[in-house]
Amino acid sequence: MKISASFLGVENIAATLRKLSITDVDYIHLDVMDGKYTLKKTLSFSEFKNITNYTRKRLDVHLMVKKPLKMIDDYATLNVEYLTVHIDSGSDLEKVFKKLENYGIKKGLALNPDDKVETIFPYLDKIDLVLVMSVYPGLPGQTFLDTTYPKLKELRKEIKKRKLKTLISVDGGVNLENIKKLSDADIIVSGTTITSSNDFQETITALRN
């Protein structure tokens, strides 16, 4: 299982990224919010670009925005491995996928807590990653929703049935207890569990195990 570390909500982003950079965490999760798709707004692209100077880790970018197509050109200039958008973002998903392919960036599609798993089935063979939101988009520190577990099982079953290589990621409220039930996930996004701990590497290792 791979770990993608989120710094959403931390006070000192630069110091946090420096600490994460000396761990074996797989990705840095970039939560991008425009204040339209979500109530909260995060940093601007120029600010994100500046803070990525503090890490050489590959980025796992999560666009919680309206019309993400307009933003891809900017974020493609960063060290991005995955870029994820939401089904109901308002952009033409085929155009989003094509643009990401042109940049050589892996394509992710997010499923919100109230979305039915079946809504993502038509896209499974077109994307590299399904990001299952285990909290509602927008705020750090939320409690993991138990309705996530059956979604993961259903997704895994469908991916296996169709013999696809699409990965499953889980984002929100993941901790050292509930991760034991997340064996159907390939990647987990963890924020405060890691960033509020005294030893980042120790926590990352514990999450992997």
- For the annotated catalytic residues, the residue numbers are 31, 171
Per-residue tokens: 199: 């030893």
Per-residue tokens: 153: 């099982």
What's 199's DSSP letter? -
**Kind of pairing between the strands at 58-64 and 27-33:** parallel
The answer to whether the Cα torsion of 52, 8, 84, 70 is positive or negative is negative
102 C-beta neighbours (distance < 10 Å), count: 10
